[in-house]
Every structure is written in C-alpha cells, then in structure tokens.
Structure 1
Amino acid sequence: MSIDNELELDEGSGYLVSVSDLMSGLVFIFIITLVAFILNFQDAAQRTARVQEKMETEIERLNTVKKRMESNDYIRAKLLQELQRRLEEEHGIIVNVDEAHGVLRLTENAITFASGSAQLNDDNLIKLKAIRNVLEDVLPCFAINLAASLSSCEGEKKDHAYLEAIFIEGHTDNTRYRGDDTGKLNWQLSVNRAIKTYMELVSASELLKSMDNDNNEAIFSVSGYGEERPISGHRHHVPTDDQANRRIDLRFIMTPPEFTDAEKELLIKGFKG
C-alpha cells in the first residue's frame, strides 16, 4: 500500500471517530435532557397533587361551614312549621309561614285590626292568648339561657340553632289618615299595633320575657312598617281598605354560628369565587 493510501485511510478513520464521538455526545445530552424533563415533570405533578389536595381540603371545610349555616335555616323552618301546625291543630288558628325569610304571619284569619285602630276585641285577645301558650311551649328550647335548664329540651340538637331575635312587626293598609299625605301616622299606627301585640304576647308571659340571646339581650322586640310592606297579591295603587295588610308578622332571626378566622377566610373566598 502506498503512503498516499495510508494517509487517506487515516484521514477517513479520524472522520468516523469524530462522527461517533459527536453522536455519543448527542445521545448523552438527550439522556440528560430526558432525565431533567422527567424530574421536572414529577416535581410538577407532585406540586399539582399538593395544590389539589389543599383545594379539596378547603372545599371540604367550606362545605362543613356551609352545612352549619344551612342547618340554621333548616332548624328555623322546622320551628316555624311546628308553630303553624300546633296553632292550627290545637286552636284552629290559621297562620302563614315564609320559611325563606323566617316569618310567621298572623293574617286576618288569626287576629284582625279595625281600620285606623291598634285595639283588639275580646275574640282577638283570646286568640293571642292561645298563640302565647304555643310560643311558651315551643320557644324556650331555642333560648340559649333557658334550653340547658329545661328537661323538655333534653336530647334535642340545638348547636348553632338558638334565637337571636324575634321582631313583632306591625303593618297597615295604604289608606291614610285625613290630612296625612306623608303616611307618617300609618307608621305610628303600625308601631302601636306591634306594641299592643307585644303586650299581650310577651309582657303577659314571664317565660317569654325571660328569653335572652347569647349577648344576654331580650329576644323579643317590636317594629313598624306602615303601608310599605304589603303582602303578595295585596299591593294596591290606590288607597284600599285591605284587612289582609292590617297584620302582625313575627320575624325569627337565628344566632349565626361562630367561625374561626380560617373559616371566615374560607367564606370570603367562597363568596368571591
């Protein structure tokens, strides 16, 4: 073999060695890149799993808080239903219940007021006494200062289900006193009706008067709305002598459950989200 041929072979072998080294380097780089990708993927998957687990935990806690809030509404609805049932079955007194707003409505089928008057006749006073007796039987288990001491309340679940307030709300129809264009006298009349009902229901009962909320405040109070809150189907555009609107509503407010700071944050997130 000539010297020229040997040189050509050496040069070709060197070229092949360089290509082989290059391929080996590329394979090594690919393996390193693949390993890095796998490690990053595993790390991302772990982070995703931790975030998902945290979200599931927060959702579970939020659902627990939500159930506690819904429990209040549920127990209040059962309370209103029980009052309605007993008034009808035991005394023949028909009342309406608005569960969503916590209202026990003493319609004209329960008690009635004459137009422009806050007085009640003997028949209405007898009905109010019957209503008072039912309230005395049912409500003390929902008063935080009485429930623990009453044997009749034993075994009943009352967590987060105590009464915060009961508003005795007076109303009028939209007929006004002569010369009163503002309706101010109707507001005063509605308050007087609420006060009259309060005197017959609460002031006449040592038990109901003693009911307090968790702030040691009296549960019963009064308010008046004049003609501003007619019942559904009884909204009139002209002055109308409507006995249905001359009524008393009992509005029940439950004490909200207590929340930790973490639970409050969850609620805020829940309302925003």
Structure 2
Amino acid sequence: MMTATDEPAEESENYFVSMTDMMVGMLFIFIIMLMVFALNYRIGDDDSKRIKDCLTEVLMRNAQLSSDIDANVNRIQNDVRGQIEALELAADQRRRLLTDIRQRLVEQDIKVEIDERNGVLRLTEAAVRFEPGRSDLDVPARYNIGRIGRVLTGVVANYAACKGDGPSDACKAFQGAGLETIFVEGHTDTTGVPDAAERDRRNWLLSTERATSTYREILAGSPELRGMRNRRGEQIVSVSGYSSTRPIASGEDRAVWARNRRIDLRFVMDADTTINLRDIIALNEQVKAQIGRLASISQESIQACK
C-alpha cells in the first residue's frame, strides 16, 4: 500500500524524468543542428572548391588570351614603328638628295629653289625661262638644262634601285630608300586667250609640252638617266603637266606670271617597307576579335562559376 510519505518521492522522480527527457531532446536537437551545420559546411566547402577551380580555369584562359593580345599589340607597334622609320629614312634621303643637287648647281651658277616638304627642286626663271604661251626652249635654257641633267645623273645614280636594262630581280634586291620617280612638272600662268574654257584647255597642253620639252632636253644630254630604274624596274624619269593649278606666287602682274611659268622636278621616294599596311590592319582586326573574346569569356565565367 502506498503511504502518504511515498507521494513526494514519486513526484520528484517524475520531475527528474521530465527534465531528463527534455535534456535528451535538446541534446538530440543540438546534434541534429550540428549535423545540419556540418552538412551545410561541407556543401559550402564543396561549392567553394568548385568555384575556385572554375575561376582558376577562367583566369588561365584569360591569361593565355591576354598574352596573345599583348604579343599581337607588340607586333603591331613594331610594324608601325618600322613603317615610320622607313618613311623617315626616305624623307632624310630625299633631303640629302635635294641639298646635294642644289649645291652642285649653285657651284655652276644655276639658281634653283628646293621645297623639302614636298620633295621639289624648282627651276626658277633664272635657270629655265619660258615665254608666255610657248613651250620651246631658248639657247640659255637648253644650256642650263644640259648642265642640270649631268648633275642629276651624278646624284641620282646613288638613289636608283638599279641601272641599265638588266633583270628586274636586281632592282627588287635594292635595300633602303630609293627613288621611285622624278617627275618633270610643267606649269603655266593664268593668262591666255579670252575664252576661259579654251584658255584652260591650252594651258593644260602647254604645261605638258613644257615638261616634255625639258624631259627630252635632259635625256638628250644625259641619256644615262633613261637607264636608271626604281625597285619595280621602271624608268625613274617621267613627266606631268599641271596647267595653272599649282601657282607659287599670287597676283596678276608680269612678275607673278613669270614665276608661275616654270619647271619643277619632283622627287618621289620608295620607302623600303617589308610589312604591308594591309597586314597591320588585319592584325589589328585580330586583336579586336581577341578583346571581344576576352569580354565574352568574362561573361561566360559569371554564369559557369555560380
């Protein structure tokens, strides 16, 4: 029989049982939470490793593509630098050529002017004079042109790619900046017949005839010039006429007209460039495509590495 004194002991036992159950339950919950945390940590760690590996691969791809871009950019810079250096060399060669010719002509009392920027040796009216509307050369002009031709022969020989009628391969093998063309340019003043259209037509013919007369006189006294050729094996000396379109003096008086009736010798250089500008443009397009690919990889990596 249960006595009155046994009831508190039973209540105390029930209390401890309840507390024990609660502690066990809390411990169980804690263990579950710890397992969940551990599982999440493992999943997070796996994701971190996956993302790290993904980003490492992307960085390697970007590094390789960046290296290719740098290499192509350096090639472009070197090619452009080579083009500039070749053009600068050609300009320097032309300056020396013009200065040499002028100095030799001055020693023979032939007055000429040089335009270094445009590569022009200008035969002033003191050297070669034309009467209005005429293209024939008087005796003093022919004498001076003969001496000019001999000076040209001595100087131009140093800048011609090849000489004579030999194979063109010898011309192609020429190294450095050489002469492409010497244009014997004829010019007129603005005067002529009253009708503007007819005056223009005649002045175009007149300027070409003056250039042709000078050209023939030069070659008559210095036939060696005919055999001097450029890198393509073509004759260097040629002619062109410009009518009154390129005056060197402005105004409408006899002194101005006399200055504009003239012969210019224009020296065009052939720069030795082994790289074609089209190759540089193609390389530039390749770099642009690579830069676009680099941006595309960056966008793709954002999606792939999530």
Equivalent residue for 1:46, pick from 55, 59, 64: 64
Give 1:105's aligned residue: 122
- Inter-CA distance 218–7: structure 2 relative to 1 (3 Å threshold): closer
* Equivalent pair of 1:166/1:221 in contact (CA under 8 Å): yes
Give 1:223's aligned residue: 240
- Inter-CA distance 37–216: structure 2 relative to 1 (3 Å threshold): closer
What per-residue deviation string (whole Å, max 9, x for no partner) do you get for residues 221-262 of structure 1? 22222212111xx234x576621101001112233546466x
Question: What is the letter of the counterpart of residue 243 of structure 1?
Answer: A
State the Cα distance separating 1:110 from its structure 2 match: 2.4
- Inter-CA distance 179–55: structure 2 relative to 1 (3 Å threshold): closer
C-alpha distance in 2, partners of 1:268/1:41? 27
What per-residue deviation string (whole Å, max 9, x for no partner) do you get for residues 200-230 of structure 1? 2122222122223344433222222221211
Equivalent residue for 2:264, pick from 246, 249, 266: 249
C-alpha distance in 1, partners of 2:284/2:50? 45
1:73 aligns with 2:91: yes
1:21 aligns with 2:36: no
State the Cα distance separating 1:179 from its structure 2 match: 5.3
What per-residue deviation string (whole Å, max 9, x for no partner) do you get for residues 135-189 of structure 1? 1211122222329x9xxxxxxxx62423222111111111113556432222222
RMSD: 3.0
Equivalent residue for 1:172, pick from 152, 171, 188: 188
Give 2:11's aligned residue: none
SS in 2 for 1:169: strand
Larger Rg: 2
C-alpha distance in 2, partners of 1:73/1:265? 23
1:198 aligns with 2:212: no
Q: Unpaired segments of 5 or more residues in structure 2? A: 1-15, 167-173, 289-306
Question: What is the letter of the counterpart of residue 21 of structure 1?
Answer: L
* Equivalent pair of 2:125/2:262 in contact (CA under 8 Å): yes
SS in 1 for 2:114: strand
* Equivalent pair of 1:175/1:239 in contact (CA under 8 Å): no
1:235 aligns with 2:250: yes
Give 2:152's aligned residue: 135
Question: What is the letter of the counterpart of residue 266 of structure 1?
Answer: I
Q: Unpaired segments of 5 or more residues in structure 1? A: 150-157
Give 1:264's aligned residue: 278
Give 2:203's aligned residue: 186
Normalising to structure 2: TM-score of the pair?
A: 0.72
C-alpha distance in 2, partners of 1:107/1:268? 46
What per-residue deviation string (whole Å, max 9, x for no partner) do you get for residues 47-85 of structure 1? 212311221123212322332233223322221121122
C-alpha distance in 2, partners of 1:54/1:179? 60
* Equivalent pair of 2:124/2:263 in contact (CA under 8 Å): yes
Equivalent residue for 2:137, pick from 120, 132, 138: 120
- Inter-CA distance 94–12: structure 2 relative to 1 (3 Å threshold): same
More helix by share: 2
Normalising to structure 1: TM-score of the pair?
A: 0.80
* Equivalent pair of 1:62/1:267 in contact (CA under 8 Å): no
C-alpha distance in 1, partners of 2:265/2:189? 18
* Equivalent pair of 2:146/2:221 in contact (CA under 8 Å): no
SS in 1 for 2:191: coil
C-alpha distance in 2, partners of 1:16/1:191? 102
* Equivalent pair of 1:176/1:239 in contact (CA under 8 Å): no
User: Which deviates more, 128-137 or 166-175?
Assistant: 128-137
C-alpha distance in 1, partners of 2:194/2:29? 122
State the Cα distance separating 1:112 from its structure 2 match: 1.7
Question: What is the letter of the counterpart of residue 83 of structure 2?
Answer: V
State the Cα distance separating 1:38 from its structure 2 match: 3.8
Give 1:153's aligned residue: none
C-alpha distance in 1, partners of 2:33/2:232? 93
